[in-house]
């Protein structure tokens, strides 16, 4: 019973703090997602491009961010972007810019996410028949229209399983941001563990929270995937 009171809501327990930290974890992951997806898609376009310079620079990007440990990327962005950002803002606007741990986490995780997402998109691109492009050209669609109306709808369906996987990885990797001070689940449960001297209770709770988040997202993703496949013939 005593242990349960530690988890209660209010000033006695950690319930409200932990609930807020779940919000931070989820919002970090959600904020990273669109940024990572867009960058990943652009990277895939770059690697697919006939322009060799574009190919090379997209490949440099993915090599770097798939090769660096996420924790190190986070430190480099957190400290480096601050130095760089201050320098640029100082020279251009004469003020300073604050890059907090949320933004640093978003950028670092987004870079890593996009590097892996570009792979997923690339293999999805391979799954689209050349005839689709030719057909669109025959219909007189512009390149942009082809992309928007013909390719992307098919691409999403092909890329969804891979992207679902990346989302689950992203959700777990947000935990690293606790190291640079963002009050996410691991950070807050860690503080509670130290203050209350109950590390087993609180870190088990942290693991359970992530399991619940993973479970909920997989259920959600399954529905989305089903929805994306609704046009297919059931075998």
Q: Whole-number minimum distance, CB 74 to another protein, in Å?
A: 10
Q: Which is nearer to another protein, 124 or 176 (CB)?
A: 176
Q: What is the DSSP letter of 140?
A: T
Q: Whole-number minimum distance, CB 142 to another protein, in Å?
A: 14
Q: Which is nearer to another protein, 27 or 154 (CB)?
A: 27
Q: Whole-number minimum distance, CB 146 to another protein, in Å?
A: 16
Q: Which pair of structure tokens corresponds to residue 53?
A: 């310079």
Between CA 137 and CA 145 the distance in angstroms is 10
Q: Which is nearer to another protein, 91 or 95 (CB)?
A: 95
Q: Whole-number minimum distance, CB 190 to another protein, in Å?
A: 7
Q: Which residue has tokens 């989820």?
A: 26
**What's the alpha-carbon Rg for the chain, to the nearest Å?**
22
If residue 121 lies in a helix (H) or strand (E), which one and from where to where?
A: helix 101-126
Q: What is the DSSP letter of 197?
A: T
Torsion of CA 119, 121, 123, 129, to 10 degrees: -160
Q: Whole-number minimum distance, CB 213 to another protein, in Å?
A: 8
Q: Which pair of structure tokens corresponds to residue 161?
A: 């399983």
Q: Which is nearer to another protein, 75 or 125 (CB)?
A: 75
Q: Which is nearer to another protein, 114 or 175 (CB)?
A: 175
Q: Whole-number minimum distance, CB 51 to another protein, in Å?
A: 4
Phi, psi of 41 (to 5 degrees): -65, -45
Q: Which is nearer to another protein, 83 or 139 (CB)?
A: 83
Nearest to 36 by CA among 115, 154, 120, 152: 115
Between CA 199 and CA 79 the distance in angstroms is 30
């Amino acid at each position: 019973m005593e242990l349960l009171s530690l988890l209660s809501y209010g000033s006695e327990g950690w319930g409200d703090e932990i609930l807020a930290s779940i919000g931070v974890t989820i919002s970090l992951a959600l904020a990273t997602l669109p940024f990572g997806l867009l960058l990943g898609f652009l990277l895939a376009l770059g690697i697919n491009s006939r322009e060799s310079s574009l190919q090379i620079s997209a490949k440099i990007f993915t090599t770097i961010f798939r090769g660096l440990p996420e924790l190190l990327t986070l430190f480099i962005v957190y400290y480096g972007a601050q130095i760089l950002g201050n320098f640029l803002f100082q020279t251009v606007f004469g003020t300073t810019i604050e890059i907090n741990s949320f933004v640093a986490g978003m950028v670092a995780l987004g870079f890593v996410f996009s590097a892996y997402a570009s792979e997923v998109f690339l293999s999805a691109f391979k799954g689209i028949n050349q005839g689709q492009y030719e057909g669109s050209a025959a219909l007189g669609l512009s390149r942009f229209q082809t992309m928007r109306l013909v390719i992307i709808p098919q691409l999403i369906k092909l890329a969804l399983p891979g992207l679902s996987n990346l989302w689950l990885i992203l959700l777990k990797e947000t935990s690293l941001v606790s190291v640079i001070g963002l009050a996410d689940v691991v950070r807050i449960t860690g503080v509670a563990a130290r203050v209350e001297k109950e590390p087993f209770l609180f870190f088990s709770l942290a693991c359970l929270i992530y399991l619940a988040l993973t479970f909920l997202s997989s259920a959600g993703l399954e529905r989305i995937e089903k929805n994306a496949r609704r046009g297919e013939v059931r075998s």
